[in-house]
Chain A
Amino acid sequence: MPTKVFMEALSPTMEEGRLVKWTKAVGEAVKTGDTLAEVETDKAVMEIVARADGQLLQHLVAEGATVPVGEVVAFIGAPGEKVAQPAPPAPPPAAPVRSATAPSPTPAPVPAPAPVPAAATVVADASRVVRASPLAKRIAKEKGVDLKLIQGSGPGGRVILRDLDGAPARAVAGSAAPAPAAVVIGSGAAFEDVPLTQIRKTIAKRLGASLGPVPHYFLTSEVDMERAAEAREALNQQLGDAAKVSFNDIILKGVSLALARHRACNAWWQDDHIRYWNEVHLGMAVAIEEGLITPVIRNADRKSLSAIGSEARALAQLARERRLKPEQYTGSTFSVSNLGMFDIDQFTAVINPPEAGIVAVGSIVPKPVVQDGQVTVRRRLRLTMSCDHRVIDGATGAAFMKTLKQMLENPLAMVL
């Protein structure tokens, strides 16, 4: 009888794995311990190894497919040995076999795959709450099975009878394999939808459970605004009364350009994927009598400082008059909130979903700082970026903030 190869629980929290690559082809001889496939878990890419000698008879899962832990992915047996059909689903449309080459399942009542045997790589996670039917608990106790090692197929991951002995046929809803796609920048489209990798899913799940629907964290950086202030004075002297440049305009311009260089921060969380925008549509929080609204400067990274300035003032005016049209306050890819005029040193802003980040701008205040070993007075600004950790990891957000700081401290960089 052929030996089943299971999608094994290769980490304590692994619930499903993506079969990245088959390293043994159908028909190849295998020995116990041989690597059969590479599997991307929620943590890393790991290997499934053979637990029997013989020939690899059949692949049941195509490369790139994601399958739950405990599902049969291949068979090992004697050369030419017949393979029993894998567990069929009860309703015909829900086929658990995901390989295009695998024969279609028949409705014969074949036992579903047993759960993963307790392999050496499997470690029970003591913190996991076990959900199991009373019957499953009793049988697990009788058999001495650790329920924490079993992937339950009932609602909410409840371990039920069939997960222990595979009684009635398992009905797996067709969870189609997401096509693996690399992040491609600058394809010409407005945005790029990128499927979530296993590690990204785990980050999203863990952090979401910890902080709420949007797992915020915050990065604060103090920026020297002395050169920006000089540049602003020079520009305003030249512009005369035509159109004054404000610090806010400079910050909006800096954020837009930094976003264009850090697309990883210019993104939307879309629950099952992340949308990386190739365009920068910058939202700016405006306080109005009734509350708050965030009008949008479209393609802000491609607009001049004066264009940004005049558009920002026009939008703010419309916002206060409550005359903004929907297209003027929707579709932003990132936002800026400025409370500098209220003498706020620094603050944390709440992310405007589905955006993944927002920069909170404090007051520009003269401060004693050490420069070249001397204490001098400089105009300083505190910026705090709020990041959605599902999309932006700490180092990614920090790199964006570093670029933004460099641009504001050296305003000439903005014309590069």
Chain B
Amino acid sequence: MPTITYRDALNQALREEMQRDDTVFLMGEEVGLYQGAYKVSRGLLEEFGAQRVVDTPIAELGFAGVGIGAAMGGLRPVIEFMTWNFAVLALDQIVNSAAKMLYMSGGQIRMPIVFRGPNGAALQLSSQHSQAWESWLAHIPGLKVVAPATPADAKGLLKSAIRDNNPVLVLEGEMLYNTKGDVPEGELLVPIGQADVKRPGSDVTLICHSKTVTVALKAAEQLAGQNLSAEVLDLRSLRPMDEPAILASVAKTHRVVVVEEGWPHCGIGAQVVDIVQREAFDQLDAPVLRVTQADVPMPYNKQLERLAKPSPEKVVAAARRVLYLD
């Protein structure tokens, strides 16, 4: 199985889907001539031409709207945002047009569109460019939200997103683009709405997604050094969320720590806790704990930024607490 980067896995997904279906096209800032701010669209302009790889002005609300119109007209647009921080400008189109079109047209108008780009903090991009938006986006009925952590999941989920007849938001990560992993050759589709056990364990479940999967895996490794067995459950899809996978893991371990990049208040973890306490109350041996970004705008200072982010050490500490060891 070839080992490739997350960036190249996304590139493969785009290329394969554009080859497979000529209604699929890519649109966004710098996706063509520059081949993408993060080089996800490398080689696509050359292969598919300027009609299917479209450079746009710096106008997120505008090109999101154009994409939505194209989807209403029967195409399958993939809209790239240079980051989800910039996509805030396009939220009106995403929330009010894309998410509601099928519902408000009485099922007449489908919305097969993908919005994708990096989400969450990278390194020292300061408060306005280090935000994790998933709880905003997953809040909206009518949208699907996926957040792949590995190259294989990135490829498989983007391909599923492009083929989906509903708006799907794909949350990538600037710090993930260069990470490598095994990606099966040939057709790879990861179903939207399925979590994945990235590491099995028996004492505590670490529920995570996107970049925090790496954090949780490192924490699980440290816990293993203390004879504690942590299961790492990667949600992969935030809406819909894989409730059976969450409940199965809780039934096994009885203790849960939720790890996410976003802020604590009304975060993704709050949704997970809701599911766990409601559906697995009698399985719980301890209150569920959450590890999140500190409840502050992301500091620019390098040390403060490190302290504000979830870390393996914070996850280990929380895991030990739900195990009543500290």
Contacts and interface: CB of A to CB of B under 8 A. Distances in A.
B324 A160 contact: yes
B228 A168 contact: yes
A169 B323 CA distance: 9
Interface in B261-292: 281-286
Interface string B296-326: 0000000000000000000000001001111
B228 A133 contact: no
Given A90-B226, A161-B254, A169-B227, A137 B324 contact: no
Contacts of A160: 285-286, 324
A341 to B, nearest CB: 59
B285 A91 contact: no
Interface string B12-56: 000000000000000000000000000000000000000000000
Interface-central residue, A90, A107, A171, by most chain B CB under 10 Å: A90
B168 to A, nearest CB: 36
Nearest to A91: B325
B203 interface: yes
A136 B285 contact: yes
A162 B284 contact: no
Contacts of A136: 285
B281 A107 contact: no
Nearest to B323: A168
A353 interface: no
Contact of A135 (B203, B284, B326): B284
Contacts of A169: 227
A138 B226 contact: no
Chain B, interface SS category: loop
A213 interface: no
A155 B321 CA distance: 10
A154 interface: yes
Interface residues on A, range: 10 to 19
Contact of B324 (A91, A138, A154): A154
A107 B227 contact: yes
A91 B228 CA distance: 11
Nearest to B287: A133
A185 to B, nearest CB: 43
Interface string A142-157: 0000000000011100
Nearest to A137: B282
Interface residues on B, range: 10 to 19
B227 A135 contact: no
B325 A133 contact: no
A354 interface: no
A155 B285 CA distance: 12
A294 B256 CA distance: 55
Interface in B239-273: 254
Nearest to A133: B285
Contacts, number: 46
Nearest to A152: B324
A153 B326 CA distance: 12
A250 B129 CA distance: 80
B300 to A, nearest CB: 36
B282 A153 contact: no
Contact of A171 (B203, B254, B325): B325
A109 B254 contact: no
Nearest to A164: B285
Interface-central residue, B254, B281, B283, B326, by most chain A CB under 10 Å: B254
A171 B324 contact: yes
B273 to A, nearest CB: 14
A134 interface: yes
B285 A135 contact: yes
A162 B228 CA distance: 14
Contact of A109 (B227, B282, B286, B326): B227
B284 A134 contact: yes
A134 B324 contact: no
B285 A90 contact: no
Contacts of B320: 90
Interface in A242-265: none
A135 B226 contact: no
Contacts of A134: 281-285
Interface-central residue, A135, A137, A153, A155, by most chain B CB under 10 Å: A135
Contacts of B325: 90-91, 168, 171
Interface string B216-230: 000000000011100
Interface in A36-53: none
Interface string B64-75: 000000000000
B203 A168 contact: yes
Contacts of A161: 254, 285
Nearest to A109: B227
Nearest to B282: A138
Contacts of B284: 133-135
A407 to B, nearest CB: 56
Interface in A156-182: 160-162, 168-169, 171
A162 B227 contact: no
A161 B286 CA distance: 9
Interface string B183-203: 000000000000000000001
Interface in A73-115: 90-91, 107, 109
A135 B323 contact: no
Contacts of A138: 282-283
Contacts of B283: 134-135, 138
Contacts of A162: 324
Contacts of A135: 254, 282-285
A90 B326 CA distance: 9
> Which are the 4 A-B pairs with shortest beta-carbon distances?
A135-B285, A138-B282, A161-B285, A133-B285
21 contacts: A90-B226, A90-B228, A90-B325, A91-B325, A109-B227, A133-B286, A134-B281, A134-B284, A135-B254, A135-B282, A135-B285, A138-B282, A153-B324, A154-B286, A155-B324, A160-B285, A168-B228, A168-B323, A168-B325, A171-B324, A171-B326
Given A133-B286, A135-B284, 10 more contacts: A90-B226, A91-B226, A107-B227, A134-B282, A134-B285, A160-B285, A162-B324, A168-B325, A171-B325, A171-B326
